[in-house]
Structure 1
Amino acid sequence: MKNLQVNITIDPALYTKNPESSELGRKIVSHSILMMDTLGFESFTFKKLGTAIGSNESSVYRYFESKHALLVYLTSWYWSWIEYKLVFSTLNVPSSTEKLRKAIALITNKVEEDNSFSYINEILLNKIIIAESSKAYHTKDVDQENEKGYYKTYKRVVQRISDMVIEVNPTFAFPHMLISTVIEGAHHQRYFSQHLPALTDAEDDKNTIVNFYTDLVLKTIAI
């Protein structure tokens, strides 16, 4: 996939001006990822971002109305990218179980940089998703934002993999609960392995997190 140039399309409701339409917009996105990873979402501001990219704060607001909107955009971009990889990796897999295995590996494995997108560092973006993405929907406005479609890419990924669960076991009653639990749980385990290792058994060299969640899903849905 390294030589394949892919366009990730983001719903226009998530931005004021499409950041992919200009060099400044792409710079805003790429530097926001670097700064959120370094500073954390709370300490990140548009003023600091403007200084870092040699522009002013108002230029950032032309693309995003708030840093929350920017975080929602980054979250949506990430899940759109995961969806593209999910479709690509399972397209010609005839076995339902093997397709599900690949899907679980994708959502629980460590992220590698994808050179199809020159201005996005997917490794750092994944770290932001793990540490900060819950702040995109843990908000008082979540219901209104959900109605506007702010979280639909994440929901589409969960739906696609839930459909794979049903392919393996059509009688399983809780596919969405299972897959959303796997995604959020894997993120917690990645975070714990880096910061609170006493809370996990994760060992990167043994692919522990992928193996744990693959085993968990297949045993849970076993007929």
Structure 2
Amino acid sequence: MERLIRNLKIAINPKVFVKDPESSDLGKRLVEHGIGLIDAHGFENFTFKKLGEQVGSNESSVYRYFENKHKFLLYLSSWYWGWMEYRLVLNTLGIADAEEKLSKALEILTQPVELDMAFEHIDEVALNRIMVNEHSKPFLTKSVDRENREGYFEPYKRLVERLAEMIRAVDGDYGFSLSLASTVLEGSLHQHFLDVHFPSLTNCKKPETITRFFKQLVSAALNQAS
């Protein structure tokens, strides 16, 4: 099993990149150091020139892998949601009880992540911080509808559907499973953002409180609908 996990590759829509960064050492270093730069300085201050300097190369070498920094962020967000889907499946696979499975899923999707040694060139903790701070930016563009049609957001949409399926397994009559599932994913990142930047706007002061909040939210929604 460990060997299988170490050989796992998160599938990314090839339209997001010019050349698959997983295909070379330079590509992996671009992803690794790109995560570090965005985490440290924010997406607005991130440039391919800075990334090239960080890896000891030139700006043009970055363009051989990514068309622009929007596509780079799309790659990171796609990888993150694909990795979250992999974690969700792996950690709920052996759970038969529907309520227990949903509870475990909410823990996985709302608690802070830990480093996953199966992907040595990616700092998942730093990537999680990026998603907390930048998670809406891949969507908030004029090209979102075209990119959606072209499948750029499939990892995110698959994860929403997996969680919605678990919600329906608990209550098949609940009519808002997709809405509730997407609210959990987006809301969790937003609550972590508020905890760091606007603590006066949230009652969730600790990661475990965020998980408890969303467990209560989902439970109340399903019980009220029953």
- When normalised by structure 1's length, the TM-score is 0.96
2:132·2:189 contact (CA, 8 Å) conserved in 1? yes
Runs of 4+ in 1 over 2 A off after TM superposition: 1-4
Report percent identity of matched pairs.
47
1:208 partner amino acid? T
Please tell me whether the aligned partners of residues 15 and 70 of structure 1 are also in contact (alpha carbons under 8 angstroms): yes
Residue from 87, 90, 93 that aligns with 1:88: 90
Number of equivalenced pairs: 222
Letter in 1 for 2:66: F
Counterpart secondary structure, 1:177: helix
Give the structure 2 partner of residue 160 of structure 1.
162
- What is the distance in 1 between the residues matched to 2:200 and 2:136? 23
1:119-167 deviations in Å (ceiling 9; x for gaps): 0000000111111121101100000000110001000000001011111
- Deviations 1:83-114 (Å, cap 9, x if unpaired)? 10111111110100111111111111011111
CA distance in 2, matches of 1:187, 1:78: 13
Cα displacement (A) at 1:193 = 1.1
- Per the alignment, residue 102 of structure 1 pairs with 104
Q: Tell me the equivalent position of 1:14.
A: 16
Q: Distance in 1 between matches of 2:221 and 2:2?
A: 35
2:179 to 172, 177, 181: 177
2: distance between equivalents of 1:126 and 1:2? 23
**What's the counterpart of residue 150 of structure 1?**
152
Q: What does 1:56-71 correspond to in 2, within 5 Å?
A: 56-71=58-73
In the alignment, is residue 140 of structure 1 matched against residue 145 of structure 2?
no
The structural deviation recorded for 1:39 is 1.1
Q: TM-score scaled by structure 2?
A: 0.95
**Structure 1 CA distance, aligned partners of 2:151 and 2:183?**
21
**C-alpha separation between the residues in 2 aligned to 1:56 and 1:171?**
56
Could you tell me which residue of structure 2 aligns to residue 55 of structure 1?
57
The residue identity in structure 2 corresponding to 1:211 is R
Deviates more, 1:146-155 or 1:180-189: 180-189
Residues of 2 paired with 1:2 and 1:58: CA distance? 37
Question: Secondary structure of the equivalent of 2:203?
Answer: coil
Unpaired runs of 5+ residues, structure 2, are none
What is the match of residue 211 of structure 1? 212
In the alignment, is the contact (CA less than 8 A) between 2:199 and 2:205 conserved in 1? no
User: What letter corresponds to residue 105 of structure 1 in structure 2?
Assistant: E
Partner Cα separation in structure 2 for residue 203 and residue 26 of structure 1: 35
How far is the alpha carbon of 1:2 from its aligned partner? 7.4
| Contact map agreement 1:75 1:129 (CA 8 A) in 2 | yes
CA distance in structure 2 between the aligned counterparts of 1:8 and 1:143, rounded to whole angstroms: 24
Contact 2:77/2:135 (CA < 8 Å) preserved in 1? yes
Aligned-residue RMSD, C-alpha:
1.3
